[in-house]
Amino acid sequence: MKLRADYHSHTTYSDGKGSMEDNVRAAIASGLKTFAITDHGFGHGFFGIKRRKLSKMRAEIEELKKKYPQIRLLFGVEANIRGSSGRLDLTRKEMELFDIVLAGYHFGSLPGSLEDLTTHLFNFLFKFFGVCKEIARRKNTRGILLAMQRYPFSILTHPGDKGPVDLRAIARAAKRHGIAMEINERHKHLTVEELKELEDLKLNYIASSDAHRPENIARIPGVLERIREAGVPISRIANLEEDEHEH
C-alpha cells in the first residue's frame, strides 16, 4: 500500500524543516499524485502562519504549480480548534484563501475565550487528577462538534490525540458533515483499539504523514500497521492505493 495523496505536511512557514519547494520535490520523488502543504493556523502561539505572509505563500505555491506540473499541489492550512468554544483560528471567509482546510486541537493554540482557556487547563490537569478527565472529555468533544457544525473543513486531524474525547460522537458527526477522520503517522490516536471500536460506523479516513521534514513525506509505516491490525478495509482510506506490483 502507498499514499496517492498526502494532505498533511509542514514547512518552515510553521514548525517544519523544509521549504515549500523542498517538500514538493520530496513529494514528487515519493510518487505522490497530490500533495498539500498545511502549516499551522494563525492562532498557534509558537509557530502559526503569520497572516501577513499569506499572499507570499500563495504566490510561492502558484510558482511551484507551474514549475512542477507533474504533481497536483494544494495550498492548505491545519487550523486550530481553539477549545470548547468550537471556534477555529480563521474565519469562514479566510478559509476560501486555501485549497484545503484541515482542523485539529493543539495545546499551543491561543485561547479565544475563557472557555478555550479552561479546555487547555483541563487537558493538562486530567493527567494528574483523574476527576478532571470527564470534564476535559466534555469540553474537547463539544469544541470539535461545534467546529464541525460551523466550518466546512475537510479533515479532522489526529482526533483524540491531545485530550480525551467522545470518539463515537465525533465520528458520527464527521460522517454527517462529510469530514474525514485522520489516521496520523506522528500521533498515536486514532489507535488500533479506537479504529476497531468505530468499525460499524463505516467511516471515511485519510492517512497522513504529517511530515515536518521533507524525508518523511508520504511515509506512513505506523499508519499501515494500525490499519492492518484493526482490520480497516483499504477502501475506507480515501488516499491509499495498492502498489503496482500487488496488482
Q: Which stretch binds Zn ion (CB under 5 A): 12-20, 59-67, 86-94, 96-104?
A: 96-104
- H-helix or E-strand spanning residue 180: strand 180-184
Nearest distance, CB of residue 156 and Zn ion, angstroms: 10
If the CB atoms of residues 104 and 164 are measured against Zn ion, the closer one turns out to be 104
Q: Strand (E) positions, 7-118?
A: 34-40, 72-80, 100-104
54 upstream amide cis, omega within 30 of 0: no
Nearest distance, CB of residue 201 and Zn ion, angstroms: 23
Q: Which residue is nearest to Zn ion (CB)?
A: 210
If the CB atoms of residues 199 and 219 are measured against Zn ion, the closer one turns out to be 219
Q: Which stretch binds Zn ion (CB under 5 A): 56-64, 125-133, 151-159, 239-247?
A: 151-159
Is residue 104 within the footprint of Zn ion (CB under 5 A)? yes
If the CB atoms of residues 16 and 86 are measured against Zn ion, the closer one turns out to be 16
Q: Which of 145, 237, 125, 144 is nearest to 184 (CA)?
A: 237
C-alpha cell at 119: 479546555
Query: Which residues make Cβ contacts (< 8 Å) with residue 55, sequence separation at least 6?
Result: none
Is residue 6 within the footprint of Zn ion (CB under 5 A)? no
Nearest distance, CB of residue 15 and Zn ion, angstroms: 9
Nearest distance, CB of residue 158 and Zn ion, angstroms: 6
Is residue 89 within the footprint of Zn ion (CB under 5 A)? no
**Size of the residue set binding Zn ion (CB under 5 A):** 4
Nearest distance, CB of residue 9 and Zn ion, angstroms: 8
Is residue 76 within the footprint of Zn ion (CB under 5 A)? no
- Asked whether 206 and 155 are in contact (CB, 8 A), the reply is yes
Q: Which of 109, 88, 112, 247 is nearest to 179 (CA)?
A: 88
Nearest distance, CB of residue 157 and Zn ion, angstroms: 5
Q: What is the DSSP letter of 221?
A: H
Q: Which stretch binds Zn ion (CB under 5 A): 27-35, 61-69, 97-105, 239-247?
A: 97-105
Return d(Cα 82, Cα 119) in angstroms, integer: 9
Cell 497522513 -> residue: 208
Region 203-222 residues binding Zn ion, contact defined as CB under 5 A: 210
Return d(Cα 164, Cα 189) in angstroms, integer: 10
Nearest distance, CB of residue 210 and Zn ion, angstroms: 4
Amino acid symbol at 122: F
Find residue 203's DSSP bridge partners: none
Is residue 43 within the footprint of Zn ion (CB under 5 A)? no
Positions that interact with Zn ion (CB under 5 A): 78, 104, 157, 210
